[in-house]
Structure 1
């Protein structure tokens, strides 16, 4: 694996790019085969991001590093604690423990939410017992808010500008994870078609940009 380290020892944006396919593979393996008949919501084509990045809007200045502790997405009733995940022994990004279906995971190889760069928060779409924390991510649309509470007491508020299903094969890593020069956030879970043989074919990717700090 390649990638550079910043002054804190964390991998920077290109380190995340280097492992992006591993996110997809790991989250696919984390999906259950006991889906509800309709499956989780799938994003509308109209919700996918257009152009290089979000439309120009005022963006608060970047925040210093601080570990996220909670994620809230009011539009789809997500209100969940956040744990820290890294890479497992095989070099994959770890998903949160499946026994806690309401837990999200911040990937510590990327920036913390609110810093300049692209922060990454992952979660299961389902577990053997049913729905999980990010089951309804695909129902989000442009303008929906994502609130990340940080250990320093600040809340970084992001506005969604794109929701899409990205295939595992040919994942557009640079577009999804590249540093836009401002604080951004990606929420990721399993998505796309599902088969018992191979699991989910892709990932739901929610792209959001920092718009407020509380």
Structure 2
């Protein structure tokens, strides 16, 4: 089985449960920013590859994929994020492991899936807050289409992504295929808690940033 096939299979195994994990994450102290409706994706906006040659199809789909390399740092200038990235895997309940809450400025990369910049759909997750206050993805919901995210990688390169949409999805209607589905071009999902909060249920949904690779640096 190829690395890409393994990545797709591994991503599928957590698709139905990662949202539930993130909903339970976080300790509500104040309401984090919510994505505006204007930045949601009303329909699938991915370009449809066209053209007579594979090269033309790749160009239509976006930036050509980078070789696989582990992410080491995430920078999101628009919201002041500058955070190290640690690998996370499947948790005992079938969802994702939680990045250690002791370090509020830490993002988690699903290490059994695609690497940011390589072919496929890479996943980054993190806390919105902890019992000590705001955490790495507190302001994720205030991103807008066109904002950029830079992921530094272990091979010394940086994968630059552009935001396509920012959405909030409720726990009881989380669109697994939309968020975790396989992609032809290099894409990224950044996920944290959101969607309102109650003492009984915790955060009721997830904020999801959809982005695609635009430049290899």
TM-score (norm 2): 0.89
Q: For 1:122 and 1:144, how far apart are their aligned partners in 2?
A: 18
Q: For 1:54 and 1:7, how far apart are their aligned partners in 2?
A: 24
> Do 1:59 and 1:212's aligned partners in 2 also have CA atoms closer than 8 Å?
no
Structure 1 unpaired stretches of 5+: 1-5
Structure 1 residues 10, 85: CA separation in 2 closer, same or farther (over 3 Å shift)? farther
Q: 2:74 aligns with which of 71, 74, 77?
A: 71
> Do 1:164 and 1:204's aligned partners in 2 also have CA atoms closer than 8 Å?
yes
Does structure 1 residue 89 correspond to structure 2 residue 92? Answer: yes
Correspondence for 2:55: none
Q: How large is the Cα RMSD of the aligned pairs?
A: 1.7
Does structure 1 residue 102 correspond to structure 2 residue 97? Answer: no
* Cα deviation digits, residues 55-94 of structure 1 (max 9, x gap): 6877221111100000000000000000000012222201
Q: For 1:125 and 1:10, how far apart are their aligned partners in 2?
A: 31
Q: 1:196 aligns with which of 187, 195, 199?
A: 199
Structure 1 residues 199, 206: CA separation in 2 closer, same or farther (over 3 Å shift)? same
**Count of equivalent residues:** 206
Correspondence for 1:43: 35
* Cα deviation digits, residues 92-121 of structure 1 (max 9, x gap): 201201111000000112100011110000
Q: For 1:179 and 1:147, how far apart are their aligned partners in 2?
A: 21
Q: For 1:58 and 1:87, how far apart are their aligned partners in 2?
A: 30
TM-score (norm 1): 0.90
Correspondence for 1:115: 118
Moved over 3 A (4+): 8-11, 54-58
> Do 2:4 and 2:114's aligned partners in 1 also have CA atoms closer than 8 Å?
no
> Do 2:47 and 2:61's aligned partners in 1 also have CA atoms closer than 8 Å?
no
